[in-house]
Amino acid sequence: MTIDWVWLLMGACAVFALGWLASRFDIKQLKIENHRNPKAYFQGLNFLLNEQQDQAIDSFIEAVQQDPDTSELHFALGNLFRRRGEFERAVRVHQHLLARADLSAKDRHRAKFALAQDYLRAGIIDRAEDALKGLEGTALEAQAMIALLNLYERSRDWERAALIAKRLEVLGEGDFSARLAHYWCEQAQQTKNPETAKLLIDKALLCAPKNARANLALAKVLHTLGQPQASYNTLKMLMTETPQFAGLGAELLAKLALELHKKDEAQQLLSHSYNGKPRLDVLEAMVLLKTTTAHTDQSLYAQHLERTPSLIAATQWLRGEELSDAKTQTRILQTLDKSSIPLKRYRCAACGFEALTHFWQCPGCQAWDSYPPERIEEL
């Protein structure tokens, strides 16, 4: 019995020693691997901060190869590929993530959203749309819906954009009434039937009763439908409730006033708006009301020049003056016309995109209501 206990004790000690050695070996290996991975990871991070994307990608690829199970490195690598315009490589990285069976639900949703962004940047709209729709009911649903909204706006699919905007309101992502009004107005602008256009504009005004674009569109369509009085009343309301947009409807107001024999009332409305803030569009409407078949009243342009310097107003004033040398006048007018063209443009406050006509959505950055209703010279 004594010998058996001794051998048993010796065997237990041997097993313990072997286990201890094995654990020490595993810990050593783990330390080596952990030492290598952070080194490659932090090197990549350093390159990224220094905007050395090529070196950062090489470091992240090395880290991923050493530890393929690290999902965060995959996300960082995929985002880098997308930023560099290497969409195919970004797609492969995120598809590889989605193919992993051990990926958590949260990371799976992140990978789907990242994949949708890859498709969007690559211009593969149908796949991007499917990927974003697949995130409904997840924690990323709101972000996916916002991306879908931008997608539909870029493709000018206003009906589906309206549905997404309503969905975002339900999700508590803010008030989208102004955007909804724009969507209905865009559809009204596309239709050639004035009756249909009026129904769409009525929907826009139901969303945003004081929306300047919707009221301007309503005034124009009422004029087309042969309802000048209703059109005139709409413009009067616009000038009272949203005076900053008075210039955009001033010309039509003046024409309707002449048609309805309400010249004095319109002149008073326009003068009140102009005195509040001198705008060239309002000034030209006032000149239109004072113009007769035989004579154009140039005094308003001269008064405007006394109040504020304006190359555009100076050009208009000179156009009505009679100089002794007709050739000289023509040359001066041509020079002034050419010089004043850039000043007649409207400029987006978000990206600086310039255009000769006022836009409600910037063609450059796609921002809504980013164009002030004043021309560049008036800013």
**Side-chain half-sphere CA neighbours of 299 within 13 A:** 5
SS3 label, residue 377: helix
Tell which residue, 121, 171, 166, 165, has the closest CA to residue 141. Answer: 171
Tell which residue, 363, 343, 344, 361, has the closest CA to residue 353. Answer: 363
> If residue 197 lies in a helix (H) or strand (E), which one and from where to where?
helix 194-207
Q: Are 256 and 232 in contact (CB under 8 A)?
A: yes
Q: Are 146 and 168 in contact (CB under 8 A)?
A: yes
Q: Is the pLDDT of residue 164 over 80?
A: yes
pTM beyond cutoff 0.85: no
Average pLDDT score over the chain? 80
Chain segment 47-100, per-residue pLDDT in tens: 555 666 666 666 656 555 555 556 776 777 777 778 878 888 788 777 877 777
- For residue 324, report the phi and psi dihedrals to the nearest 5 degrees: -65, -35
Structure tokens given for 243: 């005076």
Q: How confident is the model at residue 296 (pLDDT cuts 50, 70, 90)?
A: low
Structure tokens given for 367: 């921002």
Chain segment 299-335, per-residue pLDDT in tens: 787 787 777 777 777 777 777 765 556 665 676 677 6
Going by CATH, does the domain composed of 68-174 fall within 1.25.40.10? Answer: yes
- Ramachandran area for residue 189 (φ above 0: left; ψ -120 to 50: alpha; else beta): alpha
Tell which residue, 154, 214, 227, has the closest CA to residue 188. Answer: 214
Distance CA 145, CA 132 (A): 7
Kindly state the percentage of the chain with pLDDT values over 70: 76
Exposed, middle or buried by CB within 10 Å (0-12, 13-18, 19+), for 306? exposed
Q: Is the pLDDT of residue 222 over 80?
A: yes
Structure tokens given for 234: 């709409």
Q: Which residue has the higher pLDDT, 11 or 167?
A: 167
Q: Are 289 and 266 in contact (CB under 8 A)?
A: yes
Distance CA 306, CA 285 (A): 19
β-partners of residue 346 are 355
Distance CA 227, CA 198 (A): 12
Structure tokens given for 371: 């164009």
Q: Which residue has the higher pLDDT, 183 or 71?
A: 183
pLDDT score at 64:
52
Distance CA 187, CA 206 (A): 15
Domain ranges of the chain: 68-174
Which DSSP category does 356 fall into?
A: S
